[in-house]
Amino acid sequence: MTACTTDKSIHYKDRALKCVNDLPPFSPTLNRLLATLAREDASFSQIGDLIEKDTVVSGNVLHLVNSALYGRRGTINSVRHAVSLLGVNKLRNAALGMSITRMWNDVRTPPGFSMARFNQHAAATAILADLLAQRLPVSYPEGAFVTGLLHDIGRLLIGIALREEHEDIMRMVQQGESLLAAESEVLGVTHPELSAEALHIWQLPALIQAGALHHHNSTADPARDGKLLTLSELVEASNRYVNAIGVSISAGVHVSEAPDLAFANLPLKDPEGLIQDFDAEYASVAQFFR
């Protein structure tokens, strides 16, 4: 990389990361939920206490647990009861997703950048990564949902902070350039790099940062050890699949890859069952991520 390119990348990276502080701040409830990612002993009562403090999220969680997805007879009207039915990880994930996407819905984005599409892509990737983590041997499986949810936050930062450059990038993509190549040419930095930097600023675990950094090239993830899968491998496969089925951030950008090829590098025994579970779960929660 030349000195000129380095200066350009530093300039654009600094401008984009300054916008991390311009995003609506995490609520105390959300901060505490994120903090539970570093703990393996979070209890039903602790998670329930946190979620009960946010009336909107509590209502959405109860709506979710009473949905057809969980096939309950009778109405569940207690967050504590919902925790016992869904489990700590599933309930924390739902609350995190609902809280984060609700927070960012009023962010000013450039023409053609749809927050609804961004939220739905993030939610779909997160749900699928979490389902993969339940089926495969992976390092830090409890981080799969959040890594999927936040893997593309760098794209949002580019849209907010670098509006003209974002339009240049998307014009190149429409003309057939790959997204990462266009970002590198225009900015000297890519959205996965910005995503990882943002997650570092938010003090999320290093494995989540690495999962976001390498979600387009998991073979470069230094955490790979040949024994356990990395979060980057799960998120890369999930990101490829949801883009292939049309749940993508950019409208009108055609993905020619067959969806099932997204899982080709994973030791997945029942891809059909995985997709059935994904379809059911995403259909139930998609309404909360618009």
Domain 107-289 class in CATH:
mainly alpha
Question: In this model, does residue 3 exceed pLDDT 50?
Answer: no
Task: Supply 271's token pair.
Answer: 């891809």
Q: How many residues does the chain have?
A: 290
Q: What pLDDT is attached to residue 2?
A: 42
Q: DSSP assignment of 197-236, as one string?
A: HHHHHTT--HHHHHHHHTTT-GGG-TT--SSSB-HHHHHH
Query: Could you tell me the pLDDT band of residue 1, with boundaries at 50, 70 and 90?
Result: very low
Question: In this model, does residue 74 exceed pLDDT 70?
Answer: no
Q: What pLDDT is attached to residue 218?
A: 95
Q: What pLDDT is attached to residue 37?
A: 67
pLDDT (tens digit per residue) in 247-276: 999 876 667 788 989 999 999 999 999 999
The chain-wide mean pLDDT, for the chain, equals 86
Q: Which residue has the higher pLDDT, 62 or 186?
A: 186
pLDDT (tens digit per residue) in 16-55: 998 887 777 677 777 777 777 666 666 777 778 878 877 8
Question: In this model, does residue 84 exceed pLDDT 90?
Answer: no
Q: What pLDDT is attached to residue 132?
A: 97
Q: What pLDDT is attached to residue 4?
A: 44
Closest alpha carbon to 33 in 142, 110, 141: 142
Q: How far apart are CA 259 and CA 100, in angstroms?
A: 27
Q: Which residue has the higher pLDDT, 211 or 35?
A: 211
Q: What pLDDT is attached to residue 89?
A: 76
Q: Is 272 exposed, middle or buried (0-12, 13-18, 19+ CB in 10 A)?
A: exposed
Collapsed DSSP state (helix, strand, coil) of residue 57? helix
Give the domain ranges of the chain: 24-106, 107-289
pTM for this predicted structure:
0.86
Report whether 190 contacts 154 (CB < 8 A). Answer: yes
pLDDT (tens digit per residue) in 111-160: 888 898 999 999 999 999 999 999 999 999 989 999 999 999 999 999 99
